[in-house]
Amino acid sequence: MKPGSLPAACAALMRRDLTLVWRRRGDALNPILFALIVVALFPLGVGPEPEQLRRMSAGVIFVAILLAGLLALDTLFRSDYEDGSLEQLVLSRHPLSLLLGCRIAVHWLTTALPLIIVAPLLGELLHLADAVRWVMVCALLLSTPLLSLLGAVCVALTVGMHRSGMLLALLVLPLYVPVLIFGAGACNAAQMGLPYAAPLLWLGAALVMALVVAPLACAAALRISLS
C-alpha cells in the first residue's frame, strides 16, 4: 500500500485506534462490567422467580447493552476533538465520511462485540430460554452497529460542547427506541414461539441504510462542530 493512498489511510487509522484501545485495555472492560451489573440488579429488584425473569430477560439485556453502548459513545470523537487529531482527519485528502466509517467500525468492534459475546452469559443470569439465545445474538449483531452509527452522528453534533454527556443521552435515546422495539421484539416473538424473521429483517434494512447515510451525516456534523 502506498502511504497516503485511501486504503493506507484507512489501515493507518484502524491500526492507530486498535493500538489506542490496547494501550487503554483496562477501560475496554468497563462496558461489559456495566452491563453485567445492570443485569444483576434486576433479580435483586424484581425478585428471583425464574418465570418472571425469563419473560423480561431479552428486554433487560437489550436495555443494559444499549446503555453500556451509550456510556462508551462519548469516547468516540471526544479525545480526537480535544487533542486536535480530528482537524488532521478533516484536513486529509480522503473522504472524511469513509475515515469516520472506519473509526465507527473499530469502535463497534471494541465496545459492542465484547458485549455481544457475553450476552448469552447475561441470558443465563436471567433464565433466558435456550431457544431465544441465538435469536438474541442475531438481533444484537444487527442492532448494535445501528446503535453505534446513530450514536456517532449525535456525538459528532455535540462534540464541540463542554460536558455534553446528558445532552448526548437525551439526543440518542429517542433514536434508539425503534432499534430496541425491533430487537427485543424479535426475542419476545421467539420466546412465544412466533415467527421472528420480520423484526430482524427490519433491523437489517435499517442497518444498511445507516451504513450509507450515517458516516456522511457524521462528517457534516463534525465539520460544523469544528467551525
Partner 1 sequence: MSGTDHHDRPALLEAQALAFARNDEPIFGPLDFALHAGEVVLIEGDNGAGKSTLLRVLSGLLAPSSGEIRLHGEPLTLARLSPQVALLSHQGGLKPELTALENLRFAAGLHGQRAGMSAGTALAGVGLEGYADVPTRQLSAGQKKRVVLARVLLAPVGLWLLDEPYANLDLDGIKLVNRLLERHANGGGAALITSHGAYAYTSGTPRRIPLQAHSASRTADTGAIDGAAAR
Rounded CA gap, 86 and 96, in Å?
Answer: 10
Q: Of the two residues 19 and 134, which places its CB atom closer to partner 1 in the complex?
A: 19
> Please, what sign has the CA dihedral across residues 87, 79, 38, 190?
positive
- Determine the size of the site formed for partner 1 (CB under 8 A): 30
- Residue by residue, DSSP assigns 135-186 as HHHHHHHHHHHHHHHHHHHHHHHHTTSTT-HHHHHHHHHHHHHHHHHHHHHH
Q: How far is the CB of 122 from partner 1 (least distance, A)?
A: 30
Which of the residues 161 through 190 are near partner 1 (CB under 8 A)? Answer: none
Identity of the amino acid at 35 = A
φ, ψ at 29 (rounded to 5°)? -80, -20
| Residues 76-115, mask of contacts with partner 1 (x by CB under 8 A) | ---x--xxxx-xxxxxxxx---------------------
Q: How far is the CB of 145 from partner 1 (least distance, A)?
A: 24
Which of the residues 4 through 33 are near partner 1 (CB under 8 A)? Answer: 4-5, 8-9, 11-13, 15-16, 19-20, 23-24
Question: What cell was used for 103?
Answer: 473509526
Residues that bind partner 1 (CB under 8 A): 2-5, 8-9, 11-13, 15-16, 19-20, 23-24, 79, 82-85, 87-94, 226-227
